[in-house]
Amino acid sequence: MTAVSPIRVLVVDDSAFARKVLRQVLSGADGLEVVGVARDGLDALEKVAELSPDVLTLDLVMPGLDGLGVLRALASGASMPRVVVVSSAGEESELAVAALQAGAVELVHKPTALATERLYELGSELVEKVRTAAGAVARALPEPAAPPAQTPAAPVARAAAKSLVVVGTSTGGPQALTRLLSELPVDFPAPVALALHIPAGYTEAVARRLNAHCALEVLEAVDGLELRPGRVVLARSGQHLKLERHGAVTLARLDRQPLRTQHHPSVDVLFESAARSWGPDAVGLVLTGMGDDGVAGARAIRQAGGTVLTESESSCVVYGMPRAVNEAGLATASAPLEGMLGLLRRHVR
């Protein structure tokens, strides 16, 4: 038998105590090897060149070159290690989302921004996400540009929606959503609802950054918010997003109940509600991500006569969720991200 090589990890943090805790947590996990630590961004780049780690755990707020600067520098190199951002919500949320858009593949939420013993609480999640990152494809994405300015003279006239698009994604999702939504035109005829697996406290920043770089309006879901053409609604992390239709009006409903899923929000829950409310006019889209969340929802959409599209392996950071849907025989069609707009246009009325 051939021994499996351990996942080589470089810990990057400007706090000596945090470096100690992260090193202890990761060194104690099977299959992981901490090959070094770095105290700031410049040190990190030197250690990457010297040690060639598989995965970086990356602090964002550091003196000199910060975490986002590290990501941008790595993206310009010949090869890019997979990056797991270790961040606290709040003031760091915007920076964390920018890092995910710039190529980081996972995000671990610090229980505190301070160097305290509570850092040990992130242990199991950190280990799991380092392992996930090791199997991901690092795909650097240029900083998204703002969309062309729309003439404010008159609002876009919108007919009643004839289709609904629901999207589910996980690892690599912020990159994929940025690429997809930035291509949707201002007159895209269907409302869009998104479920993204991301720690609580970050979806507001995700929605805000997507809104700044897309022609469509992107909002974090609130209970009772109306879905309509020209609007994208992002499920709030920690809660399920369900869709409720009353004639021509479709409303967002938030649900804190755990139901049967470990994910909050759940792609299955969103898709199943779309199948109930929109039937054959529901279009489900499963993008990059780990696991099989979305399979049950895709089945519900197909049973209701709707359409299920998946992202091709060639553009996925992690080909897990789309693979599960494809292997279950539920995908109507598949395309890489660069071809997804054309695919949507063929299936959205």
Catalytic residues: 170, 197, 293
State how far the Cα of 267 lies from the Cα of 98, in Å rounded to an integer: 23
226 contacts 241 by C-beta, under 8 angstroms: no
Give just the sign of the alpha carbon dihedral 221, 290, 124, 206: negative
In the three-class reduction of DSSP (H, G, I as helix; E, B as strand; rest coil), residue 191 is classed as coil
State how far the Cα of 13 lies from the Cα of 37, in Å rounded to an integer: 8
307 contacts 348 by C-beta, under 8 angstroms: no
- Token pair for residue 104? 């980081």
249 contacts 278 by C-beta, under 8 angstroms: no
DSSP codes joined into one string, 4-41? PPPEEEEEE-S-HHHHHHHHHHHHTSTTEEEEEEESSH
Q: Tell me the CA distances in angstroms from 122 to 89, 116, 135, 169, one per residue in order.
A: 14, 12, 20, 23
Give the helix/strand (H/E) hosting 107. Answer: strand 106-109
State how far the Cα of 135 lies from the Cα of 124, in Å rounded to an integer: 17
Centre a 10 Å sphere on the Cβ of residue 100 and count the other Cβ atoms it contains: 29
